[in-house]
Structures are given as structure tokens and as C-alpha cells.
Amino acid sequence: MKRQPTTPPCPGCGAFARVFRDGQSQCAYCGSTLPPLPFTHPGGTFAHTNPLRIGMKAKVMGKEYVAVGRLLYEQNDEGEVYRWEEWVLLSQDGEARYLEFDEGKWTMSEAFQPGAAPSFAELAPAAKGMSYQVGNMRASVSDAGICRVYGVEGEVPWPVDPGHFLRFVDFEGGGGVFSAELDESEHEVEWYRGRRLDESAVFEMFGLKKEAQAATGREDARKDRRGFGCMLVVLALVALIGGCGVGAGRQVAAGESTAAMIPDEGRRFGPYKLTQVGRVHRLNVETSLTQTSMWVQAVVEDASGELFDAEREFWDESGTDSDGAWHESDLRASRDFRLAQAGNYYVRLFADPEAAATSAVVRFTLREAVIFPTYLIIFGVFSLVLGGVFLLASSPQTKQKIWEAMDD
């Protein structure tokens, strides 16, 4: 599509921009009625997706442009149809800018001639991820394909054929975006460079103050959603690392005995002096067994009697079934408690082994200054999920991609 303004200027004021009003072509500046264009496209056929309308004026870098028309494109990507639109902005002296609105993102672009750029033949096989030298920068292909102009309205100053197919290559690089339109009939490439704009900036340009204010509010809320989501993810990771990794504390007591050496009244170890009042302590008990079981109980005591226990029926078993060999065991138990007062404490072991387990060794350890993990893990998992939800909500594109991936 050759985007060269071919319409004559207004004979009254010399402006190139014209709009279709009251059933006739009028100069956008002085309002003079002009001879109709041979390729005018009266509006009203296609629904609007944003507050911009034909005839609105915008200030771009201090220069005034008129929205003279819009082009509507669609791309069929393996059965998925994507649609976007492009507003044609024309200045009084005939300079054109293009404002693309694609899935909520705005891009303002203009034609340019890169010094050295890939030819039609080099660009024809372009695909996402490939990179090319465009002018003095390396740009990578962000999208490439064939789209169709499915609609046009307004006084676009060059002939546009609805139904026309267009090959395009989009690039990112050097802090901006570029696109190339490949003319299949003449094997030529038209280059455009652009920059992304916030929705509020677009509405500001068009003097839509209320819409700009609302867009700023939406952008602030979206940024806050992302910031809040990031904060939750960071808190979740800190909590999970604290809960799972760094809270094991210091060992203050340990002991062991074979099961056969533990009498019915238990075997007492200690005393151990515990001083970390108000902190969490952990009693661990474990054994090693093969193909047998043994009940074990470790009890923390003080001079007044029993305080806490960690007990379990420990077992180990292996065998073979239709899935092959298997081995399962449960050989460890623990108990967390809070030290209310410093003093001497004991650990007493009880064991009731099967005959094959009498020679097994029962071990215990007592640790102080442990970080109790349960609250941190619950908080971490909850915050991670919630943070993920907020991050997704702040990025409609990512959410869309996830839905599409789930559909596939």
C-alpha cells in the first residue's frame, strides 16, 4: 500500500487534511467544501473501540494533525483472528503519522528511510526471533505475517482497497519499534519507525481531558496492581526461604541408644541446660530400620515430670509389585515447643521394637532457636498465589497468552 498523499490541497487555505462531514468532503481547517475524493470511505460502518473520532485534532510534538481516517486490519494466525486499527493523522502541510491501536496498546509511527536496510528478498522469510540490521542498529523481529485490510473509513489521502492483503514485519530494537510493509507487486519495502504511547498520552494529544484522566487512573491502578503483586511475591519468597531453609536453629543436645538397651521405664539422657526463653525448640527422634517396625517415643522432662513427646511407629518396607521394586519408610518424628523458663531438662527414650529391630539405634537431637515454619509456609504459599493473581491482572497480554495456551 503506497502511503503517499495524492490529494490536492484546499484551494482556500492550502491544508491537505480533509474530513467527510454532512455527506461531503470538507477542509479540516477552513471548512471549505472540496471536490469529493475518488476513493472516499464514509464512516459509520465499523464500531469504535476507543474515543477517537474522525475530524479530531491532535498536537504531536507541537504540531497539529487531524485524524482523517482509520484503517482496520485483521490477521488470521492458525485460525485465530487478530484485529487492530490504525488512525491516519495528517498535518496541515500533508505530513502523515500513523496511530496504531492494537490490543490496548498505542503506537505512533511515521515513514522513514533507514540508511542500510534489508531488501524485500531478505525480509520475505522473516519470522519472529530473527534479527536484522536496520540503519545503524540491530533489530529483532517481534512479529511477521500477512494481514488484510478489512475496513477503511474517512478521507485517507491515498487509495485503499478493502480486502487488500499486506505482508508486514515488526521489529523492536534501539529503544523503539519499527515495521516494514512489503509491497508484493513491486517488490518494494516501506519503512516506519514509532514509539509506544500510554493511553493517557494519546487522549491528552487529542485534548480528551476527561478520558485522559480516566486513563491515568486506570494506568495507576494497573501499575499499583503490578507493584502490589511484586511485593507479595517478594514477601512470599522471604517467608518460604525462612520457613523451609534458614530456621533450623542450633543443636543443644543429642543422644542415642540401641532399642534393646532401652528398658520399659525408658532411658533418660541429660540434664541439658536450656536458656533461650520465649524461643522455639525442636525435639527430633529417628532410627534406621530394614524390613521391620518399632514404636519409639522421646519425651522432654524437667524435675516436675514429662512435658512433651515425639512418638511414632517407625517402619521400613520394600518389595516388588507390577510397577517394579518399591521401598517405603517412616523413620523420623519431631515436636516443636516453646521454652517458658530456663533450666535443666532431660530427654527420655522409650522403644518397643519387633524382634528384628532390637539392634536398631534410636537417636534424638534437641535444637534451640528454631524458626517455627508452619505460619511462614502458609503465608508464603498464600502470598505467592495472590501475588501471581495480581501480576497477571496487571498484564492483560500475559493473561490473554495464558488463556490461549490453556485453550491449545
Partner 1 sequence: MLRTWGYRIAALLFLGLFGWIWWASYTGYGLASTAAVAAQRQSIQSRRSARVGSVYYGGRYVGGGGPRFGK
Task: Decide: 319 and 325 in contact? Cβ < 8 Å.
Answer: yes
Residue 165 or 382 with smaller CB distance to partner 1 = 382
CB atoms within 10 A of CB 307: 14
Binding residues for partner 1, rule: CB under 8 A, are 220-221, 223-225, 227-228, 231-232, 235, 238-239, 242-243, 247, 278-280, 293-295, 297, 299-300, 302, 304-309, 311, 313-315, 317, 319, 326, 328-330, 336-341, 345, 350, 352, 354-355, 371-376, 379, 383
Rounded least distance, CB 196 to partner 1, Å: 20
Angle, helices 373-393 vs 396-407, to 10°: value is 100
Rounded least distance, CB 337 to partner 1, Å: 6
Residue 160 or 259 with smaller CB distance to partner 1 = 259
Which residues fall within 8 angstroms of residue 224, CB to CB, at 6 or more apart?
none
Please report which residue ranges of 139-198 form alpha helices under DSSP H: none
Rounded least distance, CB 261 to partner 1, Å: 18
Cell matching residue 256? 542415642
Rounded least distance, CB 257 to partner 1, Å: 17
Rounded least distance, CB 332 to partner 1, Å: 14
Query: What does the longest C-alpha to C-alpha distance in the chain come to?
Result: 114
Residue 254 or 331 with smaller CB distance to partner 1 = 331
Residue 234 or 402 with smaller CB distance to partner 1 = 234
Residue 18 or 282 with smaller CB distance to partner 1 = 282
From start to end of 214-304, where are the E strands? 250-258, 267-274, 280-287, 292-302
Rounded least distance, CB 131 to partner 1, Å: 36
Q: Which of 48, 43, 47 is nearest to 21 (CA)?
A: 43
Helix or strand or coil: residue 305?
A: strand
Q: Please, how many CA atoms are within 13 Å of residue 35, restricted to the half-sphere of its CB?
A: 5
Residue 150 or 295 with smaller CB distance to partner 1 = 295
